[in-house]
Structure 1
Amino acid sequence: MSDKADSTCPICSKSFPAGEIEAHANKCIFLNSDTPKRKRSVSPSDSTHSHHRHERKKSPAMNGSDPTNIPLTKQVIPKKIDDFVGQSHVLGESTILYTLLKQGDVPNMIIWGPPGSGKTSLASIIKHICRSEPDKLVYHSLNAAQCGVKDFQALATTAGNDLKNGKKTVVFMDEIHKFNKKQQDVFLGPIEQGEIILVGATTENPSFELNKALLSRCRLVVFEKLSSSDVHKIMKKAAEVMGIDVFSKGDKNEFQEDRTYIEEAALEWLGDTCNGDARIALNNFEMIQKYFSHEGKVITYYDVKEGVKKSHLVHDKKGDEHYNMISALHKSIRGSDPDAALYWTTRMIMGGENPLYIARRLIRAASEDIGEADPQALQLAVSTMQGCQLLGMPEADVLLAQCSVYLAKAPKSRKIDTALGKAKTCIAEQQGCQPTVPLHLRNAPTKLMKDLGYGKPGDYAGFLPESLKDVKFL
């Protein structure tokens, strides 16, 4: 039991812990406005939002099955290309891929994108395309994390037999990067022979995780994170599937006790805080719906925000986003934008990035982009890394912030980095053997070496090899 005394709700007279009474009272006032017994209404206010009343659809429970056995992510997955939400740059009506799929033509392709961006949804559409033409297409789904090379080989053998009967086999291979590059060779023969049409999906960069031979045989389809508006559309579809009506705060409409309602602002909040991952938003929506199915029938923005409390600060510490953010920080410093440098530093800190990794990159930026223009910058960056080692997180956050802002404000000089690049090029492009060290530059610790001329100035007294005496790197 809590140490704090319970408080009594002034509306319903029920007792609640002190930490919960405010949230309950807000909801209780909302649900018990002065309206007829079986109808509730929202007071009008100035609002540009419109009311969205969906026709009541039968939920899985009404059809005789238990909806808890069917995840919401499965219930809303599209079956037709026109129902797909987002990724208009590759699946818009004017794109090649949209046209091909609309015609029932599935190409070999690799779908690369972050979690929850629609890869599985596109696979679902392809599955239904195949099922709409059973005499021409066969669909199989595998996951590279759960199957092996032999499983695919067995499937390819079956596909070869089906091809003799005029049927093409489409294989959706999820997490295709789980097969290493040598194992990925198993796809090449069946693709070349037309036994299978491969549709692979991956969250990892194909440039690093897939072999070149496979990439050359497949169209690369790049998915981006979904926008908040795209996720909002998916949330409204989910509400419709679950038989939940959507209302706006400023609407003046009657609420019926036998129906469930959710505030549109709540759906927008779910879309804003999932970081473009529709699966996260749908799972949160499903959790909220299940909770409030026992608590009441009107779900407000406040209910959702307080009920989910899920951080939207997602930072992939191993994938592409890891490198994208550190690149953004480095370029912000190079571009002398202290606000941007502070922003990207903070994003990484709050996302759980290793502070020593950030500090190492700050040291590099201090030398590469500032260099001779402000030698103090390098000293500060090194001290920042040492401070991070001594303090750890969360105390080290201000050290990283101070250093990134200082570097962004500091004068810039890439003279040393540019000169280093020229020196590397000079050495790499040297024809034949590398020049030897001139005799007069060599140490002569023994009499023999002195007799051979080590350390003695000759006709050439420069410090570079004689063949490079006219070269200037700086």
Structure 2
Amino acid sequence: MAGAGTLCPVCSTCIHSSDINAHLDRCLLRADARPKKARLDKSACIDNTKKAGISRDRTLLSMFQSTKEHSQVPGGEENVDTDGVLSPNGSTLVTSASVNSNVSVSGPKNARMDFKPLAERLRPETLDDVIGQDKAFGANTLLRTLIEGNEIPSIVFWGPPGCGKTSLAHVIANLCRRRGNTRFVTHSATSATTANIREVIRQAQNEQRLCQRKTILFIDEIHRFNKSQQDTFLPHIENGTITLIGATTENPSFEINGALLSRCRVVVLDKLSVEAVEKILHRAVHSLGASIVNSATDEIEGEFMHPEAAGK
């Protein structure tokens, strides 16, 4: 029968028999196109899920950041911005805090130095401040004249502990810093390695070639270097790349290579006398603004008094 229809196996639509082939082609094309669209919809869904996840992460991040809150300290008007964690009883343990107040709390002018030991804070700054070594660094001595004239030779300081070897190196470092034409490098033989020394020498060669600057290398406890490590300095002292200053408590004739020792001037430092120690203590009292109290009479000796003590 010419008018009879045929059921489409793809879309289940009744189609005239003469049009069934063309209809099937269209249905199949639509069927092929449908998975692609579904894939596009799926990728779009994944993108939306990722965006939702990012938004949720940002929300959570903002929630955690909101724990940094300004809390008012009881009995005052200071706001503390805290990064803390909760203790077992629920209170906040402050790990870092910045205190904002209308009243600025100002520490001492040199508060950064308060972390240093007292001996480090009171080291002499100039040769005039050096006490107890007049034989080596007194007025009109050869070594003092050389140092003040910026003609510092290679030196080995030999003396007992506490006589001022490191302090003298500190004075020379200050002189170099003020003049600006000399680089001063400090190392300790107890921790430095041969690689550290070679790196200093390499930098000294560059400084000499590019900036026309000398390099002074101070090695504390130089006797702790073995013979091969001490030999590292020899050629560079000879050609003027570095000026070596060493400090030792041991007899350099036994602990330092003869070749290296012959290229250095040995300066023997004396043990500080009682008068020198007393002078150093009085200067420290003056520098700290403290006062000396007589234990027998409880009377304050001297004119130096800490400002807080003066107000009591």
Bin for the TM-score computed over the shorter chain: 0.5 to 0.7
Structural mapping, 1:20-419, within 5 Å:
62-63=108-109, 65=111, 68-134=114-180, 136-164=181-209, 165-246=211-292, 259-260=308-309
Tell me the amino acid that sits aligned with residue 227 of structure 2.
K
How much does 1:245 deviate?
2.4
Query: Post-superposition shift, 1:182?
Result: 2.2
Q: Judge conservation of contact 2:189–2:219 (CA < 8 Å) in 1.
A: yes
Q: Which amino acid aligns with 2:143?
A: L
Classify 1:245/1:189 alpha carbon distance in 2 versus 1 (closer, same or farther; 3 Å).
same
The SS at the match of 1:229 is helix
CA deviations 1:358-389 (Å, max 9, x no partner) are xxxxxxxxxxxxxxxxxxxxxxxxxxxxxxxx
Instruction: Read off the aligned partner of 1:179 and give its amino acid letter.
Output: F
Residue number in structure 1 paired with 2:64: none
Q: Secondary structure at the match of 1:116?
A: coil
> CA–CA distance in 1 between the matches of 2:245 and 2:277?
24
Q: Distance in 1 between matches of 2:303 and 2:154?
A: 52
The equivalent of 1:351 in structure 2 is none
Show CA shifts across 1:323-350 (max 9, x none): xxxxxxxxxxxxxxxxxxxxxxxxxxxx
How far apart are 1:254 and its partner, in Å?
A: 9.8
Structure-1 separation of matches of 2:166 and 2:183: 18
How many Å separate the matches in 2 of 1:255 and 1:195? Answer: 47
Task: Name the CA distance, whole Å, in 2 between partners of 1:152 and 1:171.
Answer: 9
CA deviation profile, 1:376-424 (whole Å, cap 9, x unmatched) = xxxxxxxxxxxxxxxxxxxxxxxxxxxxxxxxxxxxxxxxxxxxxxxxx
Equivalent residue, structure 2, for 1:265? none
- CA 1:260 to 1:70, structure 2 compared with 1: closer, same or farther past 3 Å? farther
More strand by share: 2
Shift of 1:260: 4.4
* TM-score under structure 2 length normalisation: 0.60
CA offset at residue 252 of structure 1?
8.5
- Cα shift readout 1:107-126 (whole Å, capped 9, x = no counterpart): 10100111110001101111
Deviation of 1:64 (Å): 6.0
Residue aligned with 1:244, SS: coil
Structure 1 residues 240 and 194, CA gap change in structure 2 (3 angstroms): same
Give the C-alpha shift of residue 148 in structure 1: 0.7
Structure index of larger Rg: 2
How far apart in 1 are the matches of 2:122 and 2:213?
29
CA distance in 2, matches of 1:178, 1:235: 31
* Cα distance change of structure 1 residues 204 and 253 upon mapping to structure 2, 3 Å threshold: closer
Among all aligned residue pairs of Structure 1 and Structure 2, give the percentage whose two residues are the same amino acid. Answer: 40
Matched-pair contact (CA < 8 Å) for 2:156–2:266? yes
Preserved CA contact (<8 Å) 2:289 2:307: no
Task: Report the alpha carbon displacement of residue 203 of structure 1 after superposing the two structures with TM.
Answer: 0.7
What is the DSSP-based 3-state SS (H/G/I as helix, E as strand, rest coil) of the residue aligned with 2:119? helix
The offset of 1:104, in angstroms, is 2.5
Going from structure 1 to structure 2, the CA distance change for 1:175 and 1:61 (only over 3 Å counts) comes to farther
Say what the alpha-carbon RMSD is for the aligned residues. 2.6
Runs of 4 or more off by more than 6 Å in structure 1? 250-257
Q: Matched residues in 2 for 1:107 and 1:252: separation?
A: 44
Q: How many residues align?
A: 202
What one-letter code is carried by the residue in structure 2 that aligns with 1:123?
A
* CA drift at 1:162: 1.1
Is the 2:289–2:306 contact (alpha carbons within 8 Å) kept by the matching residues of 1? no
Q: How far apart are residue 183 of structure 1 and its match?
A: 1.6
Q: Secondary structure of 1:221's match?
A: strand
